[in-house]
Amino acid sequence: MALLRYQRDSLLRKLAGISEDDSRLALVGTGTTLAWLVRHMTRAETQWMVVRFAGHEPVPAGDTVPPGGIVLPDDAVQPSDTVASLSAGYRAAWAMTDAIVADSDLDEPCRGNEGDTPVRLRWVLMHLLEETARHAGHADILRELIDGSTGR
């Protein structure tokens, strides 16, 4: 978990001191922005850990959340999103992930019904580590393009 925490922090450090406008700058052909990366990783942690591993039912935003349900955020950066709200949402997803992991065994299979080949918690954590590190690297590049800032 320490490596995953380090990569999560690395991603959020790329938003430190950035303006709201700069967080939404699309400087690469894919349209990827710093704001989108954080929103995407919030969704990834929620989808993989809370929905797929823990088996909670996702509900659309705005619907009443039943017991055992969870709102699964989408990747689209909303007009109301701010650097602070995106960072807080990502940290909230970390807290859910960390609580689930603390109460689970690495060899437990996913409980969510995704129709894919069943995987275990160990695989899910390695996938999240890989995806977080990859996107933290993307954030490094975007931040350097925005204002020349480099480093972890």
* Domains of the chain in sequence order: 2-147 (1.20.120.450)
Please give the DSSP secondary-structure letter assigned to residue 27. -
Distance CA 73, CA 84 (A): 16
Cα torsion through 96, 57, 34, 99, rounded to 10: 10
In the predicted structure, residue 77 carries a pLDDT above the cut 70 = yes
pTM of the model: 0.90
Handedness of CA 9, 152, 44, 75 (dihedral sign): positive
pLDDT in tens, 78-114: 999 999 999 999 999 999 999 999 999 999 999 876 6
Contact criterion met (CB below 8 Å) for 23 and 33: yes
Looking at the DSSP assignment, which residues form a beta bridge with residue 59? 71
- Res 61: pLDDT: 66
pLDDT of residue 114: 63
pLDDT at 122 exceeding the cut of 70: yes
Confidence at residue 88, expressed as pLDDT on a 0 to 100 scale = 95
